[in-house]
Amino acid sequence: MRAPSRFDGLPMLNWHAESRDDGVVVLSFDKAGTGVNTFSQDVLIELDGILERLRLEPPKGLVIRSAKASGFIAGADIKEFQTFDRRGTVGDAIARGQTVFQRIADLPFRTVAAIHGFCMGGGTELALACGYRVASDDPSTRIGLPEVKLGIFPGWGGSVRLPRLIGAPAAFDLMLTGRTVTGKAAKAMGLVDRVVPVGELVDAAVKLALRGAERPFQQRALAWASNTWPARQVLAPTLAKQVARKAPKDHYPAPYALIESWRRGGGSTKALLANERRAVVKLSSTPTARNLIRVFFLQERLKSQGIKDHGIQRVHVVGAGVMGGDIAAWSAYKGFEVTLADREQRFVDAALQRASELFAKRVKDESKRPAVAARLRGDVGGSGVTDADLVIEAIVERPDAKRALYGDVEPRMKTDALLTTNTSSIPLDELRGGLARPAQFAGLHYFNPVALMPLVEIIRHDGMDPLTEQRLAGFCRAIDKFPVPVAGTPGFLVNRVLFPYMLEAANAYAEGIPAPLIDRAAVKFGMPMGPIELVDTVGLDVAAGVGHELAPFLGLPIPAALATPPEPGRRGKKDGQGIYKWENGKPVKPEVPQGYKAPDDLEDRLILPLLNEAVACLHDGVVADPDLLDAGVIFGTGFAPFRGGPIQYIRETGVDLLLQRLRQLEARHGARFAPRPGWDHPALRG
């Protein structure tokens, strides 16, 4: 007959409790019906009941762990959070999380979080409410508070407890960036107390629950000193200045609200939690938070595309220029066997040198770098074609040159291998003629710089096998890129939307508007860099090539700056000289003449052509739906994420207002601003 348990009568759908012989209770989180642990309100209510029973019948200690192999806790259920926002009940949801976690903090016995795998947001806040934390030394263990990326900040006590635990400087480094740390890094900053092999995780946590541990005096002293009233008044302005360099307050209010909440903080924990709750509730209703949460779901959608069993292990890249070389290096870094071909060894050598620099930056463990580097081999003769599962062509943007290459390469490829082109604008119908297996041919368009830009466009054509798209999407996911399938029309999606924006910047520059002011207007709107700087970064030669393909298709005149290829040595960033001079990878922007004032309509002149072309892309079916369009433009161009994408921005601003402004620009500056087809699309009105 089973002995009575302290948990008898409690609903235990998402939590499982084990009472050990040593008196410690191990509480395992295993959210029902999902592969990942997230905190929804029913999970918190169930946990609250368990904690109350533990308070009435105290064990020797409590260990909280995950029963899922996928990780510890991914944070709050964001879909449920969206529902609360629509209902106006975010405050209640935040109050419940704070109350439950404070109950953990108030338990009259030692509590330990045993962390393996991802520990994000609410998961980290639960761990902070425990008295101790143990993390596995597995590389998959990553701990963080990424709420700032959703336009809010930690609201279940994390912003109160973390600075007290590890000191304000380290705490704000985590909370303001949303970055994650390994178990070892977390131990160094005092965020966890022990780091052990995963097989020893529960035993180490139980030992802490029974015996406790003393934190180093230096960590305790720093945590106390950096949270005193005078320290908060000194540190807060410095933190705000650091944030302002990357995130203007008008665009991203959450970091500033977090800093101010901490600066003003004082009194009891109850008062601090109330202050945290009020600030997060206020932020949650802002357009920034709602749009960033929307972007989060767009990102999740892109991550879910493709098939895991894509059958690609070996990659052969033809063209060792900046794009081809960097595509090869990134593929090798992500675990693929890669061969890199070009017509001369010197081009391959230059690409291999860039690859070694990438590996030095990305592979922190020096002992592992040789194995990564060994996955990338120079192959001037092109022998890697015969073994490759995927061939990526990244040569000069000339249809005749590409077709000639395919005629040489395709006959030597395996019958199930995929042939792709990294063309930035040439329609695939111009390239597929003469192929023996067009069903296995597609575009795989990366963006520069490859290591930083998350998007890859998968370019379709009528003769492509759907399985080809699924395999390529799976490959993109394997190299941590976001795949967006697009039609094979000129410019595809991203370059087609960007071209009118960059073209208008070139027009404004030709009129004598200083380049720094043009860039400033775009950055003020929320773009990551200005269009003149972008042209230089992409390369004036590449921009001229794209212009040659796109201008006739879009019916747009090309200004002189983009009409002809640039002079040798003046292609932009890669030459150190373009419209700007470049030093140490950064543009040297000239001073704007004193007293010069930019035209009042400059921002509209830049942004409205981009929106106009986005509408035309939606109308023409370049992508399957408005969400994919927004995702592609955000992750492919850096379009202001806090605005939710061009289609979402049109919805929020209003179709009628934007059409009125377009027509004003058309009357003032010419037919290039005429509204494109598609402004009557139902998706633009919500």
List the catalytic residues: 445
- The two three-digit tokens of residue 59, written as one number: 């064990």
Residues in CB range of 329: below 8 A, 6 or more apart: 351, 354, 355, 358, 359, 376, 450, 451
Which region, left, alpha or beta, applies to residue 265 given φ > 0 means left and ψ of -120 to 50 means alpha? beta
Length of the chain: 686
130: three-class secondary structure by DSSP:
coil
Q: What is the dihedral of CA 399, 401, 407, 410, to 10 degrees?
A: -80
User: What burial letters (b/e) apply to 205-233, b meaning 16+ CB within 10 Å?
Assistant: bbbbbeeeeeeeeebeebbeebbeeeebe
Sheet holding 24-29, edge to edge: 15-19, 24-29, 61-66, 110-115, 132-136, 194-196
User: Nearest CA to 151 among 644, 645, 652, 523?
Assistant: 644
C-alpha 570 chain-centroid distance:
32
- The two three-digit tokens of residue 667, written as one number: 């009357």
Helix ranges, 539-621 (H):
540-554, 560-563, 602-620
- How many C-beta atoms surround the C-beta of residue 278 within 10 A? 15
User: Cα angle vertex 574, ends 573, 577, to 5°?
Assistant: 50
Q: What is the dihedral of CA 470, 472, 476, 478, to 10 degrees?
A: 80
- The two three-digit tokens of residue 479, written as one number: 């190299």
Element (H, E) at 457: strand 455-459
Q: CA-CA distance, 522 to 95, in Å (whole number)?
A: 39
Q: CA-CA distance, 81 to 87, in Å (whole number)?
A: 10
CA Rg, the chain, in Å?
A: 28
